[in-house]
Amino acid sequence: MKAILPVAGEAKRLRPHSYTVAKVLMNVGGKPIVAHIIDELKRIGIKDIILIIGHKGDQVKDWARETYPELNFYFTVQTERKGLAHAILMGEPFMKEDEPLLIVFGDTIFEGDIGTAIKTKLDGALGVKMVNDPRRFGVIETNKENIITKLVEKPDILKPMPALVGLNYINNTKLMFKCIKELIANDIRTKGEYQITDAFQLMVDQGAKLEPFLMDGWYDCGTRETLLETNRHLLETRCNYFKPREGCIIIPPVFIHDEAILECSIVGPFVTIDKGSTIKQSIIRNSIINASAEISSESITDSLIGDNAKIKGKLKVVNIGDSSELNLSNEQIGF
């Protein structure tokens, strides 16, 4: 069995950070977004991973090989963004005939037991979770036997429905790839793109039996706000880690890298501080501070701070990219 992770997106909603860093390599809960996904794939025994890369693809390629030398990675570049179905089709050359496949969207951290899904004897199993507003998602309908009968991408309906969470296990990969090719050959698009939801519907129309499996949760990392929400959740549930620092007050949950420097500061709750960062005479809450950033005499909350950024002054909300520098005030915070 292989896994496909589409990670080619430009992440326009995460600019300026995505100008210099691939979205899936952005830190949340102490490690890159995609690392949370790959660690779970390792846990269930998947060693072969196809990465569909694009924007900052070389970063992703180098990081994956360096971080997980024990895994087998296959890379292909999606030069044109034509939708998730198109991205997944690009992984077909790396698949053996009738080899099962786990599809995981590369910008979503999921929670739940996927062991049941990969044991299905049907054509596939699609991960779902109930949502109150399904208009941003692909959704499903099932029959009395809990077999999926209909899939709709981003319906214009406002009622609780089971939404696809971006985690799908496919046994009948031959039929799936055939249906994706039909979408493209007939130029069947939704919202201007070739959607994997529509490919699954074609599979159902051609007799495939797909069943849903419930996930405990999935956590989006597509905007500053959702990235911080996901960071809070991860710190609360699995990533709380720090060593006490003399002269500092640390309010968990937080993740503070052992090689970060803290002096005379209050940090937390819900703060991630990456390797090599320096925090002096500052108050940091609900924020992500990336590698080698320098912050002094600041009060920061609800913020993303890029690699090598330097900040001095008095700020409440910050969203600056890598290697930026702000110096708004010389006022010091006393302790």
Q: Per the structure block, which two tokens stand in for 324? A: 């930026």
Lowest mean pLDDT among 34-48, 179-193, 300-314: 300-314
Q: Is 150 inside a domain boundary?
A: yes
Parallel/antiparallel/unpaired status of strands 148-153 and 138-142 = antiparallel
Predicted pLDDT at 335: 39
What would the mean pLDDT of 220-249 be, rounded to a whole number?
88
Domain boundary among 157, 186, 220: 220
Domain boundary among 187, 220, 253: 220
Predicted pLDDT at 18: 66
Residue 333 has pLDDT above 50, yes or no: no
Q: Is 231 inside a domain boundary?
A: no
Question: Taking each helix axis from N to C terminus, what angle separates 57-67 and 33-43, rounded to the nearest 10 degrees?
Answer: 40
Lowest mean pLDDT among 121-130, 191-200, 219-228, 302-311: 219-228
Q: Is 226 inside a domain boundary?
A: no
What letter would DSSP give residue 71? Answer: S
Residue 64 has pLDDT above 80, yes or no: yes
d(CA 86, CA 157): 26
Stronger pLDDT, 335 or 312, i.e. the higher one: 312
d(CA 273, CA 30): 7
The CATH number that applies at residue 201 is: 3.90.550.10
**Backbone angles phi and psi of 9, in degrees to 5:** -65, 150
Q: Is 230 inside a domain boundary?
A: no
Q: Are residues 246 and 201 in the same domain?
A: no
Residue for token pair 């996901």:
230
Q: Is 126 left (phi over 0), alpha (psi -120 to 50) or beta?
A: beta
Domain count, the chain: 2
pTM for the model:
0.85
Q: Is 332 inside a domain boundary?
A: no
For residue 12, what are the domain limits? 2-220
Residue 196 has pLDDT above 50, yes or no: yes
Q: Are residues 154 and 259 in the same domain?
A: no
Residue 135 has pLDDT above 50, yes or no: yes
Predicted pLDDT at 334: 42
Q: Per the structure block, which two tokens stand in for 219? A: 């956590």
Q: Is 201 inside a domain boundary?
A: yes
d(CA 105, CA 109): 9
What would the mean pLDDT of 244-256 be, rounded to a whole number?
94
The CATH number that applies at residue 299 is: 2.160.10.10
Q: Are residues 195 and 313 in the same domain?
A: no
Do 182 and 202 form a contact (C-beta atoms < 8 A)? yes
What would the mean pLDDT of 282-299 be, rounded to a whole number?
91
Binned at pLDDT 50, 70 and 90, residue 103 comes out as very high
User: What b/e sequence results for 268-300 when a residue is b if at least 16 CB atoms lie within 10 Å of its CB, and e otherwise?
Assistant: bebbbbbebbbbbbbbbbbbbbbbbbbbbbbeb
Residue 330 has pLDDT above 70, yes or no: no
Q: Is 333 inside a domain boundary?
A: no
One-character DSSP codes across 92-115: GGGSPTT--EEEE-TTEEEES--T
- The single-letter code of the amino acid at 64 is A
What would the mean pLDDT of 166-190 be, rounded to a whole number?
93
Mean of the per-residue pLDDT values of the chain: 87
Predicted pLDDT at 332: 44
- The single-letter code of the amino acid at 243 is K
SS3 percent helix, strand, coil of the chain, rounded to 5, is 25, 35, 40
Residue for token pair 């110096």:
327
Q: Are residues 7 and 143 in the same domain?
A: yes
Predicted pLDDT at 11: 64
203-234 pLDDT per residue, tens: 999 999 999 988 887 787 777 888 899 899 99
Q: Are residues 166 and 306 in the same domain?
A: no
225 burial level (CB within 10 Å; 0-12, 13-18, 19+): exposed
Please state, in angstroms and as integers, the Cα–Cα distance from residue 319 to each residue in 254, 279, 288, following that order.
20, 17, 10
Binned at pLDDT 50, 70 and 90, residue 252 comes out as very high
One-character DSSP codes across 249-280: EE-SSEEE-TT-EEES-EE-SSEEE-TT-EEE
Q: Are residues 18 and 56 in the same domain?
A: yes
**Backbone angles phi and psi of 321, in degrees to 5:** -90, -170
Q: Are residues 215 and 256 in the same domain?
A: no
Q: Is 207 inside a domain boundary?
A: yes
Q: Are residues 196 and 147 in the same domain?
A: yes
